[in-house]
Structure 1
Amino acid sequence: MPQLESAKCSFLLCLGICIFICSIIYLRAKRLDIPKAQRLSLSCYPFPVNCQILPPSSSSMKWQRTACPEVSTFDDRLNCSKMQTELHFIMEPLSREEEEYPLAFIITIHKEFETFVRLLRAIYAPQNVYCIHIDYKAPEGYKASVRNLAKCFPNIFLASITENVTYAGFSRLKADINCMEDLIRSPVKWRKVINLCGQDFPTKSNLELVRYLQEVEWKDINMTPGVKQPKSMQHRTQMQHVEVQGLYVMPKGHKKGPPPHNLPIYFGTAYYTLTRRFVEYVLNNSLAKGLLEWSKDTYSPDEHYWVTLNHVKDAPGSKIDGGWEGDIRAIKWRNQEGTAHQGCNGRYVRDICIYATKDLNWIVEKNSMFANKFESTSFPEALDCMEQWHRHKVLQQATVPIQPSWQLATEVNISSASPAGMKVKSKTW
């Protein structure tokens, strides 16, 4: 009997040791799963010398960055005030005109955190509101970075429902719908909503956007460039399609029934500016809901959904006689070489140009609301140049005193230097 008790005690001791060791292994594994605080460094390389769109500078002057910040992107101890300053966010309205016409933005992203941050600080204004939709399959570290950045701004939030986005799939359209449902509940009384992707960059300043959207042609009117669906595009909505593993869309081989109320289907861009009343119509009207349901198994439904509804007579702000009007995006399509543009100086991805520096003059001359696409990894100097040009214009138009932290670059005089070091005179913008 004593031997049995001794064996029992030994067994329990071994069991306890095993549980303790397993617990340590488990906890260490869990700690490895927790994203570690990352450092975000924005553009620390020299400012591009071939940025022709910047204001002219004399031979004795050159552009120099004001700072090369490193900010923890998902550290819970993030100092928001310091981050806003070091990343050069503009934290007050630059004019009463802008303050009285707040805008809403939907930004769908999945990669290139630096490119996203630079887009966000270019379009950020405290009177606006921003809904960020992160692709469900994006890396956890990336999601945490965006989430912690958003925590530092009362008017930036992540979509409450996220989609596993498929290129040309219904999930891409649903991501916008999800953000619209969140934006309608926002306390910000925004006037119009604009959708963006993470590789867009603004050409117009916020003040120019506000003025453009209030011109006679667009005041209280939706902007959804597009035309009656051409025959070459009808297969997209006449045949059923299915999303496969969140990667691509393929036809099922079955013909679809007609759209609700036999609506004539239009074809256009996935980009828009919509009035608040139109968004409420999209979310609540039975015809809009019916078209959304019918569009679930179509190809690239965001290229027909908005423009089709905007041709419905009873839809608020509709433009039933509209065509391709509206300067929403500057895009160099491969099949428009020699007509709309003279070629891509960067490289084509899915027949869309990724811009290089030599493409920027075309973008500036076109003067659309935004340009697409930029990549900080492929052509960083193009994004650098565009960003400095845009911030210069924004600050030139401001009607309030300019804060030093809003400046991205200074123009420094390098013509004189002493043995003790270079003496510089600078002007900021």
Structure 2
Amino acid sequence: MKCPGDISQVCGGYFTMNVYETGLHKFIPQTPEIKNQDGKSIRIVFLLTLNGRALRQVYRLINTLYRKNHYFYIHIDKRQDHLHRKLSSLEKQFPNIRLAPVRFSTIWGGASLLKMLLNCMKDFIDLGWEWDYVINLSESDFPIKSLEELENFLSANKGLNFVKSHGREVQRFIKKQGLDKTFLECETHMWRIGERKLPRGITIDGGSDWVALSPDFVSYIIEGKQDLLKGLEIIFEHTLLPAESFFHTVLRNSKFCNTYVDNNLHVTNWKRKLGCKCQYKHVVDWCGCSPNDFRTEDWAKIQNTLNRQLFFARKFEPIINQEIITRVEQFIGVNDHYLINNLEAYWQSIYDTNDLTASTDDTVLSHAGSIIRQNSKILATEGCDIKLGEILEIHLYKYADVYKGNLILHKAVLNNGLNVVIETWYKPKHHLELNFNSPIVDYIKTFRVGSDYDQKEMIFRNFGGILGPFSDPVLLYQFSSHKQSGNLTVLWLDPAGMLADVNIISRDENNLTNFIKPNIRHPLLPGVWKVGLFEQTTLVAVTKFLITPLEYFSGKEVSHQEVGLIHSGSQNSYRNLTNIKPLKFVPAKEESLLLKEVSNSNIKRIGNDLREWIDILNIEFYSILGSCINDSKNTQESEKVLCGNYHFNPCAVTEWSSLSPDPKGTVGKLDIHTGRLKRV
């Protein structure tokens, strides 16, 4: 680092020894008590800061933590209308649950995260709640010890403040964290705008933004009357990841320094090689790391916390792995699993017509409309003619941690005039052709195109592969270990038979699993795209993916003028790749002219003609698996509904339906004797 007395000189270094002392005693965090206490008197505010659409997991978390003597203060990101609408009913059901009236649009590492936390703390202090600790949690957290154990522990350590420090040499932490840089949050981005000097005489500390804080310390912060706090608030308003340092720094430099415990009660699933790939570059001018989701193979990490002062773990996502959450429940003493229907099933909302942003989800609506038309044609062969109505909801469906497809809930009128709601289950088809004459074909484990690729979890979060002209396709490839060297070539072919992009894959042991994002501008040409994998001129594998034409644009039926702009593609921006002509992949001249003629004709389609084109494409890429019905007039839930020769099962007794019972994913009923929520 630069010498404080002469910035032209450099001092310090990795092996440098301390050759002087300041006279100050070395800071030693407090060691919490471990003796058993009667935890009944402890009162906790669980500050839930929620994002995403994992509603059923939020309910599962509340079911596990709820006691009538504790409080839940819930902040839902301003952009998450779905969660806010669904959870708002909890305020009416439970006097100890409140939703934040002021909502922030937070971003990873943003200054808004700290503002949100401080504003929430001020709110529940103003509510007059009497409490002993506030613990902030997200929808990705879950307890790994019983609530009674947490209560006993906190009861024995009232007044202490639990935070997790970085454990590094301070100057290294400052550099790594970017604390010596000035940042400004603007338009959902943290912009790095220059260097800065941190104030002298202040001990900088930080590590994790998950904390357990005492009421005295929180009140001290919220009142903010001290010069120390006024100054730190200015500094941290322009700091990257401020919530990871603010509470630590205030603790170390205030009268509460002797309440500092270097433990935030959490265990985090860090896999640095996967989580530290600068995946947040699009929202911050800095590289950051993020923990991975716990999966069943990480079970030993949970078991190893048994005798440690750790009470929560993160991250958990049932859309990635739900079995680990069920195991954790058993681990902490939950014993009702044998009574729960659909224990291994999981549903997560993709679309809801009541969401504020629903009308602009053009790709999903265009795709879903085609699926239910396809289903109506299948039903018509059974003499069941239905009139299709509004699409209400779309859910992703998994069972035993295997993706089973999507579910579309929509209104309909049967041919007998009965108004009903139908749920249609469908699943994407996989398109992979392998050349078994190639010597390397056995090494290919995955060769697939999707979107919303998560580098950290190595999956496509767009499970159904629903892509439109403004999607960003990504090719995921996985090879088994092999010693052959040399490069492989990837070719992207658009629906008109034009070569859109070329990529090179280097074959080595460090590149067995990776992804490729092609350099193709929006809008993508609608239709069937092909991606070929070549070893020199030998075709090894071909996969296909669908770019669905849009029936809707900005929530309205697409017009003649809009069709010309949206569906014309961006072929003029393709790179000049005319010299690459692998046999049996890039069409010959005559076939190419025919494909272009068909493509030019398709992109002009409108109205029923457009819908017919969309339907033809979707039939090739998606299969209908079943339908169920929700008839409000039919009081017998187990009674089938006849339409022509087709017998609809009621959705309430159809295991795959999002309307079937899911006790683990709904808020239980309050047991007035125990103060707990009973799921069954």
> TM over 0.5: same fold?
yes
Give the 5 Å matches for 1:40-189. Answer: 97-111=38-52, 112-138=54-80, 140-189=81-130
Query: Which amino acid in 1 is paired with 2:220?
Result: Y
Tell me, in whole angstroms, the C-alpha distance in 2 between the residues paired with 1:315 and 1:409: 47
Where does residue 382 of structure 1 map in the other structure?
Answer: 324
Q: Deviations over 1:115-162 (max 9, x none)?
A: 111111111111011111101111x23210011133311101011321
Tell me, in whole angstroms, the C-alpha distance in 1 between the residues paired with 2:137 and 2:179: 24
Query: Which amino acid in 1 is paired with 2:263?
Result: G
SS at match of 1:354: coil
Aligned match for 2:141, one of 200, 203, 218: 200
Correspondence 1:330 to 2:256 = no
Tell me, in whole angstroms, the C-alpha distance in 2 between the residues paired with 1:350 and 1:110: 19
Query: Which amino acid in 2 is paired with 1:225?
Result: K
Is the 1:136–1:163 contact (alpha carbons within 8 Å) kept by the matching residues of 2? yes
Tell me, in whole angstroms, the C-alpha distance in 2 between the residues paired with 1:334 and 1:263: 32
SS at match of 1:353: coil
Q: Deviations over 1:43-83 (max 9, x none)?
A: xxxxxxxxxxxxxxxxxxxxxxxxxxxxxxxxxxxxxxxxx
Where does residue 343 of structure 2 map in the other structure?
Answer: none
Instruction: Evaluate the alpha carbon distance shift between residue 100 and residue 232 of structure 1 in structure 2; reply closer, same or farther with a 3 A threshold.
Output: closer
Where does residue 634 of structure 2 map in the other structure?
Answer: none
Shift of 1:335: 3.0
Tell me, in whole angstroms, the C-alpha distance in 1 between the residues paired with 2:57 and 2:263: 25
Correspondence 1:222 to 2:166 = no
Give the 5 Å matches for 1:353-392. Answer: 353-367=292-306, 368-392=310-334
Instruction: Evaluate the alpha carbon distance shift between residue 316 and residue 132 of structure 1 in structure 2; reply closer, same or farther with a 3 A threshold.
Output: farther
Shift of 1:410: 4.7
Tell me, in whole angstroms, the C-alpha distance in 2 between the residues paired with 1:360 and 1:182: 38
Is the 1:102–1:127 contact (alpha carbons within 8 Å) kept by the matching residues of 2? yes
Aligned match for 1:283, one of 222, 229, 242: 222
Where does residue 256 of structure 1 map in the other structure?
Answer: 196
SS at match of 2:163: coil
Shift of 1:256: 2.7
Tell me, in whole angstroms, the C-alpha distance in 2 between the residues paired with 1:262 and 1:158: 39
Q: Deviations over 1:241-264 (max 9, x none)?
A: 122422x42311x223434x7422
Instruction: Evaluate the alpha carbon distance shift between residue 350 and residue 387 of structure 1 in structure 2; reply closer, same or farther with a 3 A threshold.
Output: farther
SS at match of 1:267: coil
Is the 1:220–1:317 contact (alpha carbons within 8 Å) kept by the matching residues of 2? no
Tell me, in whole angstroms, the C-alpha distance in 1 between the residues paired with 2:208 and 2:303: 21
Higher relative contact order (CA 8 A, sep 6+): 1
Tell me, in whole angstroms, the C-alpha distance in 1 between the residues paired with 2:234 and 2:106: 17
Aligned match for 1:299, one of 229, 236, 240: 240
Shift of 1:366: 1.4
Tell me, in whole angstroms, the C-alpha distance in 1 between the residues paired with 2:171 and 2:217: 25
Question: What are the ranges of 5 or more consecutive residues in structure 2 without an aligned counterpart?
Answer: 1-36, 275-287, 341-678
SS at match of 2:160: coil
TM-score between both structures, scaled by the size of structure 1: 0.61
Tell me, in whole angstroms, the C-alpha distance in 2 between the residues paired with 1:203 and 1:364: 9
Query: Which amino acid in 2 is paired with 1:128?
Result: H
Instruction: Evaluate the alpha carbon distance shift between residue 141 and residue 153 of structure 1 in structure 2; reply closer, same or farther with a 3 A threshold.
Output: same
Between Structure 1 and Structure 2, how many residues are aligned? 285
Moved more, 280-289 or 159-168: 280-289
Tell me, in whole angstroms, the C-alpha distance in 2 between the residues paired with 1:123 and 1:195: 13
Tell me, in whole angstroms, the C-alpha distance in 2 between the residues paired with 1:124 and 1:130: 8
Shift of 1:186: 3.0
Shift of 1:351: 4.3
Is the 2:265–2:311 contact (alpha carbons within 8 Å) kept by the matching residues of 1? yes
Is the 2:211–2:264 contact (alpha carbons within 8 Å) kept by the matching residues of 1? no
Give the 5 Å matches for 1:400-411. Answer: 407-410=336-339
Instruction: Evaluate the alpha carbon distance shift between residue 229 and residue 409 of structure 1 in structure 2; reply closer, same or farther with a 3 A threshold.
Output: farther
Tell me, in whole angstroms, the C-alpha distance in 1 between the residues paired with 2:289 and 2:63: 27
**Structure with greater proportional strand content:** 2
Tell me, in whole angstroms, the C-alpha distance in 1 between the residues paired with 2:40 and 2:149: 13
Shift of 1:363: 0.9
**Pairwise CA RMSD:** 2.8
Is the 2:158–2:214 contact (alpha carbons within 8 Å) kept by the matching residues of 1? no
Tell me, in whole angstroms, the C-alpha distance in 2 between the residues paired with 1:130 and 1:289: 29
SS at match of 1:194: strand
SS at match of 1:233: helix
Query: Which amino acid in 1 is paired with 2:305?
Result: K
Shift of 1:187: 3.6
Tell me, in whole angstroms, the C-alpha distance in 2 between the residues paired with 1:178 and 1:255: 28
Query: Which amino acid in 2 is paired with 1:362?
Result: K
Name the % identity: 24
Query: Which amino acid in 1 is paired with 2:67?
Result: A
Query: Which amino acid in 2 is paired with 1:245?
Result: E
**Structure with greater proportional helix content:** 1
Query: Which amino acid in 2 is paired with 1:166?
Result: I
Tell me, in whole angstroms, the C-alpha distance in 1 between the residues paired with 2:255 and 2:323: 47
Shift of 1:331: 1.1
Q: Deviations over 1:246-290 (max 9, x none)?
A: 2x42311x223434x742211211111111000000111332243
Shift of 1:107: 0.8
TM-score between both structures, scaled by the size of structure 2: 0.39
Query: Which amino acid in 1 is paired with 2:64?
Result: A
Instruction: Evaluate the alpha carbon distance shift between residue 100 and residue 193 of structure 1 in structure 2; reply closer, same or farther with a 3 A threshold.
Output: same
Tell me, in whole angstroms, the C-alpha distance in 2 between the residues paired with 1:150 and 1:317: 37
Shift of 1:355: 1.1
Tell me, in whole angstroms, the C-alpha distance in 2 between the residues paired with 1:175 and 1:197: 13
Aligned match for 1:241, one of 183, 188, 193: 183
Is the 2:294–2:321 contact (alpha carbons within 8 Å) kept by the matching residues of 1? yes
Where does residue 268 of structure 1 map in the other structure?
Answer: 207
Shift of 1:391: 4.3
Where does residue 78 of structure 1 map in the other structure?
Answer: none
Query: Which amino acid in 1 is paired with 2:44?
Result: L
Tell me, in whole angstroms, the C-alpha distance in 1 between the residues paired with 2:297 and 2:184: 40
Is the 1:327–1:369 contact (alpha carbons within 8 Å) kept by the matching residues of 2? no
Is the 1:278–1:316 contact (alpha carbons within 8 Å) kept by the matching residues of 2? no
Where does residue 310 of structure 1 map in the other structure?
Answer: 251
Question: What are the ranges of 5 or more consecutive residues in structure 1 without an aligned counterpart?
Answer: 1-95, 338-348, 396-406, 412-427
Is the 1:159–1:178 contact (alpha carbons within 8 Å) kept by the matching residues of 2? no
